[in-house]
A and B are shown apart, each in its own frame.
Chain A
Amino acid sequence: MRAEMQPMTQVSKSKHGNAFLEMCKCRWREFRREPSAFFFVMFMPILWMAILGFAFSGAKKERYGVGWLNVAGEDSGANVIHDTLAKHDQIRLIEGDESALNLSLIRGEILIVLAPPSAGRGWHYKLDATNREATRARTALDDIVQSAAGRQDVLKVAEDYVTVPGTRYIDFLVPGLVALSIMTSSLFGVGATIVVNRRENLLKRYLVTPMQPVAYILSHVVGRSFILAAELAAILIAAFAMFKFDVQGNLLSFVLVAALGAATFTALAMLCGSRTSNMAVMNGMTNLISVPMMIVAGVWFARSNFPDWIAEPAAYLPLTALVEALRRIALEGASLATVAPQIMILFAYLVGATLAARRLFKWY
């Protein structure tokens, strides 16, 4: 070994590269060379969009499982109704005695039981009134039963179906998925990187170089922006190609709000990852934050479907603010001024989380 060594002392020294730039390159390489990170950021949202978009496209009506209670001595009126239901494309009819139908109810195979008249009791339904789908099934079923029994509609009402781009479910869904993927990729991407870097003593190693720690922190913010750009482009292009999705408002406003969202969730990720070097703790914390938000923030369907005591506080969650701002810009063509309340909410989280992370951050 010795023979091949040349002393380094005679070699001249100079400035080699910029620390901040190199750190940003680190972020890019981490992202690009970790196949799972790449997959989750770039393809998961597109996969979701494709599955949900195609599942809910086409004007398919809901189909309900209905139990028909077999009773002794059914009259001919009951037979007409039974046959109508059996042929109806919105009804999946299952017949059985009381105990069999109860079991089907428990298993979720049927939503409602229809009992023809018997033993002195008239027609009746049996259902769980707190199950929304069951109450929908009741309305649909009652409609079919009444008209089969001879009810005439008083008014004839025609139906127009919404198919114009910008008003379909997929249009509603895409901004939600953009927001969701910004949240997950920032929370899990940045947080996990910091925790792993800390656990492997890399942060400590950086501290014994003259590198300014702020270069490391800022590189995460900048790195996120680039990844965000790639992420946004992938989702929007895929949404356009598959569903002719289009942003009605200003695309730049859309990108700016998305960038603010990414910064906010990056700050939250730094806060979550400010102390621990244990990935299990980190995953627990990010799940604790992200899972409830995924449900109540209105990514998949409008937040107003929840009872008020959930829907109203949920308006102040960062994911809700991001989803709503993006959705308004994309669907309603709103300007940045119109979505100012949502921007304020995101900004408040950004500042709060940054300050807290600054206070709590431990390098090793």
Chain B
Amino acid sequence: MAVSAPDVALSARGLKKYFGELKAVDGISLTVDHGSCVALLGPNGAGKTTTVEMLEGLLSPDSGDIEILGLSLAKDRRSILERIGVVLQETTLYKRFTVAETVALFASFYKNSLDPDIVIGRLLLTDKRDTQLRHLSGGQRQRVYLACALVNDPRLLFLDEPTTGLDPQARRAIWELVGQLKREGRSILLTTHYMDEAEALADRVLIIDQGRVIAEGTPQQLIRDTCGDTVQQVRHGTLEDVFIKLTGRSIRES
């Protein structure tokens, strides 16, 4: 157990974080295999954000170990940061910067990064290259954030609610892109409020409530295990049903 297997991009064991009396995270373990996408689902206040912030190194856990790309987060945070990409929720980059200036800014943070123009082209923003962010649509802006997360060619991506607030078309475009990134062999840890997003993108889903993992598996497994295994129910059940069964509430009202 001491050394994670080479085919694991991220492994966390026994993460705990208490804020006074509140057990925000109370013993969560998870792994993300290379080239796979793991989704964290959970109502607000379940400990999702605290977990992700510990994995990103923004918060230090009270106890537990985190290994990312074969390195210990506690010891090699800076080397890890060179190799991961992050899209945080509710981030606003400089509104009066152009797309090219924004991506170039993030490129400058890394020892090794891709040519910003190649990343911009990859996210289909070439014709918006010299447009200031304030003039972009929500979907285009989200693609700029993704470009900033991809500019160092990361092996592991943290995507925190990457499509919240986007229209269906823009969401599909982001899903398409995330699928591509996965096919390129990148590993992804996704947090989302959308069940359809988790079903579309995730190889494995972890449902978190009250600081603990309460269910874990492929989307199909979770649906089958929770909603019963008759053919009919498998066909009609969704992750939304699983979620309501397990936590007693719908994810969007929580």
The answer to the question of B82 belonging to the interface, with a C-beta cut-off of 8 Å to chain A, is yes
Is B108 in contact with A18, judged by CB distance below 8 angstroms? yes
Q: Which residues 97-129 of B sit at the A interface, judged by CB distance below 8 A?
A: 97, 101, 104-116, 118-119, 121-122, 124
Q: CA separation between A18 and B110, bound complex, in Å?
A: 9
Residues of A within 8 A of B84 (CB): 208
Is B58 in contact with A15, judged by CB distance below 8 angstroms? no
Instruction: Return the contact of A8 from the options B56, B108, B148, B184 (Cβ within 8 A).
Output: B184
The answer to the question of A251 belonging to the interface, with a C-beta cut-off of 8 Å to chain B, is no
Instruction: Return the contact of A207 from the options B58, B122, B176 (Cβ within 8 A).
Output: B58
Q: CA separation between A276 and B94, bound complex, in Å?
A: 19
Q: Within the complex, what minimum Cβ distance (angstroms) separates B101 from chain A?
A: 7
Residues of A within 8 A of B89 (CB): 201
Q: Within the complex, what minimum Cβ distance (angstroms) separates A11 from chain B?
A: 6
Contact with B along A1-15 (1 / 0, CB 8 A): 110111111010111
Q: Within the complex, what minimum Cβ distance (angstroms) separates B89 from chain A?
A: 8
Most chain A CB atoms below 10 A, which of B94, B101, B109, B176: B109
The answer to the question of B90 belonging to the interface, with a C-beta cut-off of 8 Å to chain A, is yes
The answer to the question of A17 belonging to the interface, with a C-beta cut-off of 8 Å to chain B, is yes
The answer to the question of B214 belonging to the interface, with a C-beta cut-off of 8 Å to chain A, is no
Residues of B within 8 A of A13 (CB): 112-114, 152-153
Residues of A within 8 A of B254 (CB): none
Residues of B within 8 A of A100 (CB): none
Q: CA separation between A287 and B167, bound complex, in Å?
A: 42
Q: CA separation between A6 and B88, bound complex, in Å?
A: 25
Residues of B within 8 A of A208 (CB): 56-58, 81, 84, 86, 88, 158
Q: CA separation between A60 and B94, bound complex, in Å?
A: 51
Is B94 in contact with A2, judged by CB distance below 8 angstroms? no
Instruction: Return the contact of B91 from the options A22, A29, A201 (Cβ within 8 A).
Output: A201
Q: CA separation between A19 and B158, bound complex, in Å?
A: 22
Residues of A within 8 A of B104 (CB): 16-17, 22
Most chain B CB atoms below 10 A, which of A5, A6, A19, A200: A5
Q: CA separation between A25 and B107, bound complex, in Å?
A: 14
Contact with A along B168-207 (1 / 0, CB 8 A): 0000010011001000110000000000000000000000
* Total contacting residues, chain B, CB less than 8 A: 47
* Total contacting residues, chain A, CB less than 8 A: 37
The answer to the question of A33 belonging to the interface, with a C-beta cut-off of 8 Å to chain B, is yes
Given contacts A208-B86, A209-B109, contact A11 B115 (CB under 8 A): yes
Residues of A within 8 A of B78 (CB): 210
Residues of A within 8 A of B93 (CB): 202, 205
Q: CA separation between A209 and B96, bound complex, in Å?
A: 21
Is A22 in contact with B105, judged by CB distance below 8 angstroms? yes
Q: CA separation between A200 and B121, bound complex, in Å?
A: 26
Q: Which residues 203-225 of A sit at the B interface, judged by CB distance below 8 A?
A: 204-211
Closest residue of chain A to B113 (Cβ to Cβ) is A16
Is A7 in contact with B184, judged by CB distance below 8 angstroms? yes
| Further 14 A-B residue pairs, CB within 8 A, beyond A11-B153, A22-B108 | A6-B122, A8-B119, A9-B184, A16-B104, A16-B115, A22-B105, A25-B101, A26-B105, A29-B97, A200-B91, A201-B92, A205-B148, A207-B58, A208-B158
